[in-house]
Structure 1
């Protein structure tokens, strides 16, 4: 490292640590973004200079859904193997957040002591950070439409990813979702070491392709794909009748790994973390024991005990995510009804916000199959900044006026939560489906403390 770069790095680190101390001391936030934003103005090469010090390499995790759960699962496996891991666990996944996470683990002169760095990366900035990070492993989870006011279509994003990954060294490991046609095609075009994960469990096929489907046309020739079955959104078993493009062979057998948490989407997260851990040299005994004892990250199928009631928070921030949480909730509620037909169902609380972390365009709720939740019946409570948008969507989901749904609208979130808890019978589970900023509010109300 040249002298000038070293001096600038030292100044950037000192400034970042001072800003972090000030922000946290004044309780202005978690300081997960601002230190990195200021530090990179002092040292523009900050991301490169810090990441190159990671002894065994950077693990970059990208995708629309599942980054936090997969990252936490993989991190736990690596740490149990005895390695020191840096991780942007606060969820700040833009450039300044990545820098802040690395800075927090350096000494005052900018030396970083870590075996691995797990960095969750916003799908839109992947092409910008690949060159400075030079990751050892890239984990591509999925691509769905998300925050329509910010991002383009999934085909555009996957094409940009492929173009940015292509110049990386041949020994770079790419772990990609074979059930996602856009990512499968991208992986097949790369010269690096590409490994695919996915499901081989037809019993989990959906009855029909959901409305929230993004990529059902062949990424090679544009012909509509033929699906033998769909697991969620456009993810499934497919082939192109025109050019022969098809789901690639899997490097991991899905049936050999148990389901963690609630929801089929978490099976994908499990497989992604397992395959990545195997490539990085984690012992299989550690992998299996970690899965068996894994606890959800905040807001991602997280379970709490509040006032003697069982609460499960299921982050729902885009059409695919909410469809899958509805699917999971319906499975649980259906099982409870079968156990005792006379049992009162716990309500479901849906909280819709339109702040910057959520995306300001909430038109995506009309792509959600809320009809499947409404037809189950019971009480649905809605709240959040866009409470009436959510209420209207649910009302339009009613097949007829005498639907079994009881819709309760509460503008005040605290009142909504109190009502939901009050109406939740003992031994039942209150499911809360919030968008991202709403999830942070819900957790603060339930636990009495902030996350960020």
Structure 2
């Protein structure tokens, strides 16, 4: 590294650390984005310089749902084996967030002192990141519709991924979800070493294919796929009756593994982190031990206590994600251990400004179980209308549903806590920005 580059790097690092100190010292947030944004202006090539310093390599985790939970689990597995890890734990997964996370682990002259950098990366910027990085591992979890106003359809993203990954060296290991036809096809077209994970538990099949499906057509010939069964959305066991495309063979099967947290989607997160850890040389008993003691990332099945009540926050930011959280909540409500649910819908930039996706969510299942549903957020009346239609679809005599609308979020949280019995769990289903607000109200601390 030339002297002028070292000086610029030192300046950028110094600025970032000062900004971090000021933001946190004044209680303005976790400083997970701003330091990287300012440092990048001081040194535009900062990201590749930091990437190169990870001693054992960079791990990129991409996908629509599950990135934060999976990356945190993998981090815990590695740290329990005494590896030093840099990680964007707050979920800030755009370029400035990645830089900030790496700068957290540098010394004052910009030396990155870690073995691995585990970075969850927004699915839309993976090609941009790969211009500056040759990662040792890429983990692809899934591709669903998410913020169509920003990203477009899953086929477009998959094609961009393939073009960006193809030039990488064959030493790069790609780990993909075989149950996702788009990702299975992607892996079958790459020259690098590709490992597949997926479910192998027909007892978990849904009774029917849900409304929120994106990739039920063959990615090769366009014919409708023949599904033996689906686990969630378009993830399942399938083959194409028109060509030779079928689900890729699994390197790791779910029957052999435990599970972190609740929900089928967390089975996938567990398998993804476990398979990658095995490929990195971590022994299976150590992986299982970490899984058994794992605590949720913020907002992702995270459990808190507020006002003496047990609260579980389930991030619900797109059709598939919300369908799965509703599925998990409905199973708990059916046992009588949860009668109150708070749904918070925002339409800010982190959420996506198009909220039409709520009409692809199967809210009828939640409404049929009755109890109390409180609705809040910037688009409170859109969500209330969706739930009112679900309520009106109920047969006479089904469990009564009480729908409460609260425009003011602090009031909504207060009412939800007040109405939750002490021996039950309050489930909160927020979009991303709403989750940050809810957590601040419950804990008194900001995340970002």
Is the shorter-chain TM-score for this pair beyond 0.5, marking a shared fold? yes
User: Matched residue of 2:349: which SS?
Assistant: coil
**Aligned partner (choices 368, 372, 377) of residue 370 of structure 2:** 377
Query: Which of 379, 401, 412 is equivalent to 1:416?
Result: 412
Give how far 1:300 is off: 0.6
CA contact (8 A) 1:148 1:361 kept: yes
8 Å Cα contact 1:60-1:139 kept in structure 2: yes
Q: Secondary structure at the match of 1:431?
A: strand
- Is residue 2:134 matched to residue 1:139? no
Match of 1:95 in 2: 95
Structure 1: 5+ residue runs without aligned partners?
338-344
8 Å contact 2:212–2:319 — kept in the other structure? yes
User: Residue 392 in 1 paired to residue 388 in 2?
Assistant: no
1:228 is matched with 228
Separation in 1, partners of 2:445, 2:28 = 14
Q: Which residue of 1 aligns with 2:245?
A: 245
Q: CA deviation at 1:449?
A: 1.9
Deviations along 1:124-149, whole A, 9 cap, x unmatched?
00000113121100000000000121
Between the aligned partners of 2:90 and 2:331, the Cα distance in structure 1 is 30
Superposed CA deviations along residues 388-437 of structure 1, whole A, max 9, x for unmatched, are 11000001112158562211111111221222122212211111111111
The one of 427, 433, 443 aligned to 1:447 = 443
Q: 1:244-263 to 2 correspondence within 5 Å?
A: 244-263=244-263
- Deviation of residue 2 (structure 1)? 2.6
Alignment-derived partner of residue 190 in structure 2: 190
CA distance in 1, matches of 2:187, 2:368: 40
SS of structure 1 residue aligned to 2:325: helix
| Cα separation, 2, equivalents of 1:440 and 1:20 | 19
Q: Secondary structure at the match of 2:252?
A: coil
Q: Which residue of 1 aligns with 2:361?
A: 368
**In 2, Cα distance between the equivalents of 1:400 and 1:76?**
44
The residue correspondences of 1:38-57 to structure 2 (distance < 5 A) are 38-57=38-57
Report which stretch shifted further, 305-314 or 183-192. Answer: 305-314
Would you say the 8 A contact 1:316–1:436 is kept in 2?
A: yes
Bigger Cα displacement from structure 2, 76-85 vs 433-442: 433-442
Question: Can you list the C-alpha shifts for 1:303-351, whole angstroms capped at 9, x where unaligned?
Answer: 11222221111110000000000000111111238xxxxxxx5211101
- Residue in 2 that maps onto 1:433: 429
User: For residues 1-400 of structure 1, what are the structure 2 equivalents within 5 Å?
Assistant: 1-336=1-336, 346-398=339-391, 399-400=393-394
Structure 2 gaps, min length 5:
none
Cα separation, 1, equivalents of 2:184 and 2:43: 37
What is the CA-CA distance between 1:283 and the residue it aligns to? 2.1
Q: Answer yes or no: is the 8 Å Cα contact 1:81–1:283 preserved in 2.
A: no
- Contact (CA 8 Å) 1:8, 1:42: kept in 2 or not? yes
Shift of 1:152: 0.9
The structural deviation recorded for 1:24 is 2.4
Contact 2:29-2:447 within 8 A present in 1 as well: no
The answer as to whether partners of 1:88 and 1:119 remain within 8 angstroms in 2 is yes
Assess if the C-alpha contact under 8 Å between 1:61 and 1:67 holds in 2: yes
Moved more, 370-379 or 182-191: 370-379
CA distance in 2, matches of 1:3, 1:177: 45
Local SS of the residue matching 1:132: coil
Distance 2:447 2:161 in 1: 31
Deviation at 1:381, TM superposition (A): 0.9
Question: Could you tell me how far apart the structure 1 residues matched to 2:110 and 2:339 are?
Answer: 52
Instruction: Give the 3-state SS of the residue equivalent to 1:40 in structure 2.
Output: helix
Contact 1:149/1:360 (<8 A) preserved: yes
The answer to which of 17-26 and 312-321 deviates more is 17-26
Q: Distance in 1 between matches of 2:428 and 2:16?
A: 37
Contact residue 87 and residue 119 of structure 2 kept, 8 A: yes
Q: How many angstroms does 1:100 deviate by?
A: 1.0
TM-score by length of 2: 0.97
Q: Is the 8 A contact 1:223 1:242 kept in 2?
A: yes
- RMSD of aligned alpha carbons: 1.3
